[in-house]
Amino acid sequence: MTVRVGVLGATGAVGQRLIQLLEPHPDFEIAALTASDSSAGHVYRDVAKWRVDTPIPTEIAEMTVHATTPDAVPDDVDLLFSSLPSSVGAEVEPPFCEAGYVVSSNSSNSRMAADVPLVIPEVNAEHLDLLEVQRDERGWDGALVKNPNCSTITFVPTLAALAAADFTLEEVHVSTLQAVSGAGYDGVTSMEIIDNAIPHIGSEEEKLETESRKLLGTFDGAELTHDGVEVAASCNRIPTLDGHLENVWVEAEEELTPEDAADAMREFSPLDLPSSPDPLIHVFEDPSRPQPRLDRNLGDGMAIAAGGLRESTFGLQYNCLAHNTIRGAAGASVLNGELLLENGYL
């Protein structure tokens, strides 16, 4: 039996990716699309400037876009994928959860709330059970689960692989080279970004530094304790279209050689969920890889690529890459939806 799902913010960059991934999905059936009041009441093809690399699905193109309110979404929809601006998500996601909908959200609001699971299924699937605490505390029939920021998702699986191989991480430095699609369609103008790099992305450094510690934390069934690793981030926007590339330095308590790290990343287990790639982390021998244009579509855009592993003055150094609107956003939400289904939350 398929689960009827809706997409909140369906006309945006991430919303379109969600439709691209959900339309052929074996377990989910798209039953509702929402956007802002200016799009509500219109046919989807007329208000979505379709820009993903596969044709707009015919039946989706003809659907009417709803307003983003619980009473506008049909009651028989069980799961909502949210890709709204965070200010909008903060306002509308709680009423949806109160009305009984389970929401798998991309937006940054509430990611760090103590009773909201922030999940990358291959890294911390067990944190999903924080939803029991959330339902007790908030009295919701529905639930709210978040995926992290796109640049957090790119490097945290590599850290989780090292932790799974029993390395105790002490300090991590990460510097990002982020694609323009991460800012949404209206985010960065061509005049700003062509022939340029912008060494500031509002609040992004803080997201990498805090979300990573929550993701690597431990959940005892009642409370989540954030990991003690210290993380410092520096974020840059560059003129690539899709795919965030990141330079990472890791210091561990134990000796951590590039060979040990490569083995740990290669052996880090994928999950048996429909959208989890196998392998999860591709490790390149060629130090000039990964590169955004060549490697962002590995594992249908759901894999993490790593390379350039070497010893440095500041511990292990490597580069990693992920597709920011697939693994870093839409695919991350879909994977969390699959985890919710597998764990009986739908």
Ligand X SMILES: NC(=O)c1ccc[n+]([C@@H]2O[C@H](COP(=O)([O-])OP(=O)(O)OC[C@H]3O[C@@H](n4cnc5c(N)ncnc54)[C@H](OP(=O)(O)O)[C@@H]3O)[C@@H](O)[C@H]2O)c1
Pure H helices in the chain: 13-22, 44-47, 58-61, 86-98, 121-124, 130-138, 150-164, 190-193, 204-215, 258-267, 292-295, 331-342
Q: Rounded distance, CA 295 to CA 279, Å?
A: 14
Largest separation between any pair of C-alpha atoms in the chain: 60
**Residue 320 binds ligand X, judged by CB under 6 A:** no
34-73 residues in contact with ligand X (CB under 6 A) are: 35-36, 38-39, 68
Of the candidate spans 31-39, 263-271, 279-287, 297-305, the one that interacts with ligand X by CB under 6 A turns out to be 31-39
Of the candidate spans 84-92, 122-130, 219-227, 262-270, the one that interacts with ligand X by CB under 6 A turns out to be 84-92
Nearer to ligand X (CB atom), residue 38 or residue 269:
38
We find the least distance from the C-beta atom of residue 55 to ligand X, in angstroms, to be 19
Of the candidate spans 5-13, 188-196, 217-225, 249-257, the one that interacts with ligand X by CB under 6 A turns out to be 5-13
Nearer to ligand X (CB atom), residue 71 or residue 220:
71
Please say if 320 is a catalytic residue.
no
Q: Is 234 helix (H, G, I), strand (E, B) or coil?
A: strand
| Structure-block tokens of residue 61 | 């193109």
Q: Is 329 helix (H, G, I), strand (E, B) or coil?
A: helix
Catalytic residue among 150, 235, 282, 320: 150
We find the least distance from the C-beta atom of residue 272 to ligand X, in angstroms, to be 25
- Sheet with 79-82, edge to edge strand ranges: 66-67, 28-35, 3-8, 79-82, 102-105, 143-146
Out of 72, 86, 175, 266, the only residue in the binding site for ligand X (CB under 6 A) is 86
Distance separating the N- and C-terminal Cα atoms of the chain: 12
Helix 150-164, helix 258-267: angle, nearest 10: 100
In Å, how far are 253, 279, 285, 312 from 250, measured between CA atoms? 10, 22, 19, 9
Q: Residue 331 burial (CB < 10 Å; 0-12/13-18/19+)? A: buried
Of the candidate spans 3-11, 134-142, 196-204, 270-278, the one that interacts with ligand X by CB under 6 A turns out to be 3-11
Out of 20, 107, 152, 275, the only residue in the binding site for ligand X (CB under 6 A) is 107
- Residue type (1 letter), 182: G
Nearer to ligand X (CB atom), residue 69 or residue 247:
69
Nearer to ligand X (CB atom), residue 158 or residue 325:
325
172-201 residues in contact with ligand X (CB under 6 A) are: 181-182, 184-186
**Residue 292 binds ligand X, judged by CB under 6 A:** no
Of the candidate spans 54-62, 100-108, 131-139, 294-302, the one that interacts with ligand X by CB under 6 A turns out to be 100-108
Among all residues, whose Cβ is closest to ligand X?
12
Out of 3, 31, 83, 117, the only residue in the binding site for ligand X (CB under 6 A) is 83
Please say if 150 is a catalytic residue.
yes
Nearer to ligand X (CB atom), residue 212 or residue 317:
212
Nearer to ligand X (CB atom), residue 28 or residue 81:
81
Q: Rounded distance, CA 277 to CA 244, Å?
A: 18
User: Could you tell me whether strands 244-252 and 315-322 are parallel, antiparallel, or unpaired per DSSP bridges?
Assistant: antiparallel
- For 240, phi and psi rounded to 5 degrees? -95, 155
150-169 residues in contact with ligand X (CB under 6 A) are: 150
- Residue type (1 letter), 318: Y
Residues that bind ligand X (CB under 6 A): 9-15, 35-36, 38-39, 68, 83-86, 88, 106-108, 149-150, 181-182, 184-186, 324-325, 328-329
Residues marked active site are found at 150, 244
